[in-house]
Each structure stands twice: as C-alpha cells, then as structure tokens.
Amino acid sequence: MFIDLARIHVKAGDGGNGCVAFRREKFVPKGGPSGGDGGRGGDVLLVADPNLNTLLPFRYRRRFIAARGGHGEGSRRAGRSGEDRLIAVPVGTTVLDDPTGTRLADLTAAGQRFVLARGGRGGRGNAHFATPTHRAPREAEPGETGEERWVRLELRLLADVGLVGLPNAGKSSLLARISAARPKVAAYPFTTTEPGLGVVPLPDAPGIVVADIPGLIEGAHRGAGLGHQFLRHIERTRLLVHVVDLSVDDPLGQLDTVERELAMRTPSLTDRPTVVAANKLDLPEARARWRAFAASLADRGQAVVPISAATGEGIPALLQVIRALLEAHPRPVPEEVPSGEENTGGGLLPETPEAGGGRE
C-alpha cells in the first residue's frame, strides 16, 4: 500500500537529575560534596532510507520517544547519556511542523539526517555548588525536559520525469512501454489510483526515473476525481510529459484542462519544461486529428511528439526529446553540510556511518 502522508508525535529524552552525595572515606577527614551530573537525554532523528518507498509504517505507530539520561551518582560519576531514537523515512520526505505548517526539512539524499527533537541537558550534581563558605551544599539541579512536537511527513517522489494527463490518456501504458514497470492498465477511468515509478534505460547514459501520476479531471482542485493530492509527486521533477488522447473530439481541450489544474495546485509547474505526447496514433481517428493538433501546438511554441503506447510507434523519438530536455535542465546539486558543523536547535546533520546507538 502506498501511503504518502503521515502525522507523528516525537518526544526527546529528559536529562538525568544531578546527585547530592558526599565523599566519606576512612582516611579522608574532609571529604566534601561528590554528587555527579545527570546524563543528557537522547535526540529524536529522522534518517532518509533509500530502501523505503512509503510512509505506511507510520499508520500503525505514531509516537516515538528517545531514552532519558541517567541520574548522577556519588564519587562524581555522571549519568549515562540517553540513546538517540532514529526514525527511518523514505528519501524524498518533507518534514512540516504540524501546528504551523512550517517546512522544517527536506530529506532528498540517502543517509541524510534531521533532528526533530533535542534531548534535555542533564542537571548538575552538588559538587558544582561547593564554595569556600558553603562547603556542604545539599542542592542539585533536575534534568531539563526533552523537546516534543507533532510533525507532518509528506513523501514526494524523486523522479526526473512526470507523466500527467486526463484519465485513460495512456500514461500507464506509456510507462509500461518505456520501462520494466507494470502498472495496472484497463479501459475505464482512474485505473491508476496511486503514483507509480519506472526506470527508463538509455544508451550510454544513466537511466531516468519516470513517475506516473493519477489522472486529472476538470475541477480536481475542488476535489473532483482523485483531487490534487498526488500532484506533490511531480513537484521535484525536471520535466513534464503531457499525455494527450488524440482519439477524442477535443484533444487540445484536454491539454488546457490539465494545465489549468496544474496551475491551481502549484503555479510554478506551468513553467516546467514540457513535451506533449500525442498518444493513440494507432487509431484511425487519432491519426486523422494529428496534423491539426500539431499545428495548434506549433502556434503555441510547445514541443509535441506523436506516439502510440500500444504499438511503440514514436517512442524512440519521444525518449530522444526527453533526454535532450533533461540534459539541458540538470538537477541542482544539493548543498552538503560540512562535517563537524554544529547543528543547533534541530536541523540537518551530515551523513554518519553509524546506524544508531547513544552518545558516550
């Protein structure tokens, strides 16, 4: 099951309490205070895991708590630091503060980490409070409370190309034709009810990742059909392929409908490089409309390629256009967090080789 939204509550570990103790040894007549400090509470961190592709685990577990710090002990022994709580999420997860909707982080690289909640500081033992005039202090600090918060997780697929169009335009058939993916294909609307991914091999080049988005209809921004909820998965794409069914009476109206719905969701999507795939050229009525449709798009300055996802006609030409557009619009390289840079108040951490464990 593909789940791309989740809401979770996280609680960092509380700091351990400081200790009130005194050194009492047989041959030490003036022992003095010897209470140790409490340990620091564990943090709660998100870790981007490339082996995950859904937020389904968070449907069954929504509360995550890190270990608290140990209390201080006598002989100036400090409490043990609490173990961090690591939460694995798919690469491409966006983290939002639930009450305010503020974006906190975007985990777009494998191994990337983000501190959701910081553990509380341990309290100081009574050894810290001794002075020349106050030699036997009996006070110690309690540990600080760890941070807690509600956050919202949104998964946005990391794809190079997004396939958009009306239901039954042939998006799933096209994905099945150009990749090894096997999405559901049927002759009724809304066959695709969740996004699908496929990797398209290219000669002498790395494969490209293509996302098939469920069909849009007029009024999707008001909740019609499957609504707009899946369009978040094309927000990271570098290129959009508008799949248009040439066998219908008004293929140009199809294209206009999809573009309007994209603009209603995210206006910047209309500025994304696009290519129109005029599909179902294997049908006589579609082939009859091709010249008029191509002329209309030429007047608009839009690139269009005639194809048939059913027979494979025009597919090599479409892949050639896609490759050229992707090479002209490379994906920006994410900024790396310098190793050793202090990460205060929650934020991204550099990738570390450890998979977990507490801090000494």
Return d(Cα 44, Cα 28) in angstroms, integer.
Answer: 44
Quote the crossing angle between the two packed helices 171-178 and 315-328, to the nearest 10°.
90
Between CA 83 and CA 65 the distance in angstroms is 10
Positive or negative: CA dihedral 264, 269, 271, 277: negative
Alpha-carbon distance of 158 to 64, in angstroms, equals: 26
Contact in structure between 116 and 151 (CB atoms under 8 Å)? yes
Residues at the binding site are: 165-172, 192, 212-215, 279-282, 308-310
CA distances from 157 to 50, 85, 131, 195, 266 (A): 12, 25, 60, 9, 16
Q: How far apart are CA 336 and CA 357, in angstroms?
A: 24
- In the numeric block, the tokens 């490089």 are attached to 273
One-letter amino acid for residue 300 of the chain: R
Alpha helices, DSSP H, located in the chain = 57-60, 171-178, 251-265, 284-300, 315-328
| Most distant CA atoms of the chain, gap in Å | 106
| Rounded Cα–Cα distance for residues 33 and 20 (Å) | 7
Can you spell out the DSSP letters for 255-292? HHHHHHHHHHH-GGGGGS-EEEEEE-TTSHHHHHHHHH
Annotated binding site for Mg(2+): 172, 192
Q: What is the DSSP string of 163-207?
A: EE-STTSSHHHHHHHHSS------SSTT---S-EEEEEEETTEEE
Annotated binding site for GTP: 165-172, 212-215, 279-282, 308-310
